[in-house]
Structure formats: structure tokens, C-alpha cells
Amino acid sequence: MFTSCRRERSFAGNLHLNCLFTLAALCLLAPQLACPQEPDAEVAANTSSETETAVTRETPAAKQPMASEVAVMGMIPDGNITLWSATTRCNIWTVGVEYDRHSWGHILKSQVDYVAEVLPVVILSQPAIADFWGNPKSPNQELVPGVSILPIGARLLWRNNTTIKPFMVGKLGAAIFTRKAFSPDASYVNFNIQAAFGVQIDLTRQIDIRVEPVEFFHVSDGYLAASNPGMDELAVRFGISYHLGKQPQVQ
């Protein structure tokens, strides 16, 4: 009996010792089992970060559209001058559409724009009868309709982020009339040169008023025919310009 009780106590004691050894072993091994998992988490985080960076680098930035504007302009003549021409009593009225594209960088602190213009309405007033050189032989005037296309041009625009923007513009193209212009021995087809100084005034973020108080308007055939009287005119142009796309806030 005594021996049996002693064996039971010995067995219970051994069981307690085994449990203590097992618990101690688990406590020692637990940090070692947990440590290998930390580098894996760090590697995963680094991999995710590198993937996001690669995606960011591979994604191209959205290209901004080129700023441009369209203006509807009308011209009223002030009178003739004699610069490259010899005619008198000749005047031209026009209505047209001008396109300006802000694509040529900057020069002299100004923004350089490409300019093209179409004048579907060109009305020439000239003497009803003229000699070979374009000198009037009658007090009467006649109106000759025509059109003009000016695909070559440039504009220098200063202070483009302000409300009032001064500019200079020059254009080159051709004008075609329904009758021979300035002389019965001249041509239907003529060269058209324009140069102007003006200002552009903001009304809204998209719409401006454009005024050109000094406009030089030249028309001549460049001796495409026997006679080349030509015409030089000073005029005033004005109209409304509409900006295509978003515009920066004016200062």
C-alpha cells in the first residue's frame, strides 16, 4: 500500500516536471519561430513598394493640349497711303476668322504664336474706270467682291497672363477678286500682306475683345500681269476672340 502511493506520487511529480520542461522549451523556441516571419513581412512590403514605384514610372504623364484661340474680326479702312503702291480712291473692307496657336515658344519676353486667317468677305472699292497705272478716269466707284487666305503668320503677345495683352501680328497670303483689281490690265489674283499692332482685353476666362487700331493692309499682283498698281491702306480691326481649352487665372 505504501509502495503504491509512493509510485503514484513519483508519477505525478514526473508529470509535473515534464510539463514544466515542455513549457520552458516552448518559451525558448517561440522567439526563434517568430523571428523568421519578420524578414518575410519586410520583403513583402519592399516588393509592394518597388512594384508601385515601377507602375508609377511606367505610367506616362497626360499630355496637355496646345493652347489656341479663334477670333472673328472685321476691318474698316482709314484711307490710302503710298508705300508700295500708286493707286488712289481704293479701299477694302473685310470680315474674317483668325486662328492663333501658342506653339512657338518665347522671344523678347513675348509669347510667339502661329497665325492663319481666312477672309471670306473682302469688298474692294475702286474707280469704275482707270488707266493702265490705276489712275482714276471717272468720278464713279465700283465694288468688287473677293476672298483672301493668309496661311503664313506670326504674333508676338506680351503679358499673356494679364487682363490687357498688347501684341504685334504679321500675315502673308493671297487675295482673289471677281474682277481685275486696280487696273484693267492688272490681275484677278493678288498677294495680301498684313501687319498690325493691337491689344487683347479679357472679358471672361474664355472670351476676349481684340482691337487693332493700327492695321497696314497691302494688296498687289507682284507683276503677275502687265500692270501692278497695288494698294496700301491703313485700317482699324476689331472683334472677339474665343480661347479653346482651359485658361490660366489672370493676374
Mean pLDDT score across all residues of the chain: 82
The residue type found at 156 is: L
**What is the rounded CA–CA span in Å between residue 120 and residue 175?**
10
pLDDT of residue 161: 85
**What is the rounded CA–CA span in Å between residue 191 and residue 189?**
7
34 has pLDDT over 80: no
13 has pLDDT over 90: no
For residues 165, 170, 173, 177, the Cα torsion angle rounded to the nearest 10 degrees is 80
Total Cβ atoms within 10 A of residue 122: 21
C-alpha count within 13 angstroms, C-beta hemisphere, residue 237: 32
Of 153, 108, 106, 115, nearest in space to 241 by CA: 115
Residue pLDDT, tens place only, 52-84: 544 445 445 556 677 899 999 999 999 989 888
CATH of the domain spanning 68-244, picked from 2.40.160.20, 3.40.50.1440, 3.40.50.720, 1.25.40.20: 2.40.160.20
pLDDT of residue 20: 45
Q: Is residue 136 within 8 Å of residue 184, measured between CB atoms?
A: no
pLDDT of residue 94: 98
Lowest mean pLDDT among 35-39, 58-62, 134-138, 203-207: 35-39
Q: Is residue 220 within 8 Å of residue 191, measured between CB atoms?
A: yes
Work out the pLDDT band at 86, boundaries 50, 70, 90.
confident
Kindly report the backbone phi and psi dihedral angles of residue 161, in degrees, each rounded to the nearest multiple of 5, phi listed first.
-105, 15
Of 197, 201, 196, nearest in space to 164 by CA: 201
pLDDT of residue 125: 97
**What is the rounded CA–CA span in Å between residue 15 and residue 9?**
10
Report CA-CA distances (Å) from 149 to 13, 202, 215: 112, 27, 17
pLDDT of residue 160: 85
Report the pLDDT averaged over residues 113-142.
96
**Residue carrying C-alpha cell 489672370:** 250
Report the pLDDT averaged over residues 118-146.
95
Report the pLDDT averaged over residues 38-47.
47
Strand ranges (E), 83-163: 91-101, 106-107, 110-127, 141-157
pLDDT of residue 4: 44
**Neighbour-count burial of 78, counting CB atoms closer than 10 A to its CB (0-12 exposed, 13-18 middle, 19+ buried):** middle
Residue pLDDT, tens place only, 193-251: 999 999 999 999 899 999 999 999 999 999 999 999 999 999 999 999 999 976 555 55
178 has pLDDT over 60: yes
pTM for the full model?
0.72
For the ranges 31-35, 48-52, 223-227, the one whose mean pLDDT is highest: 223-227
pLDDT of residue 22: 53
CA 114 from chain center: how many Å?
A: 10
C-alpha count within 13 angstroms, C-beta hemisphere, residue 16: 5
Lowest mean pLDDT among 46-60, 73-87, 124-138: 46-60
pLDDT of residue 49: 52
pLDDT of residue 9: 43
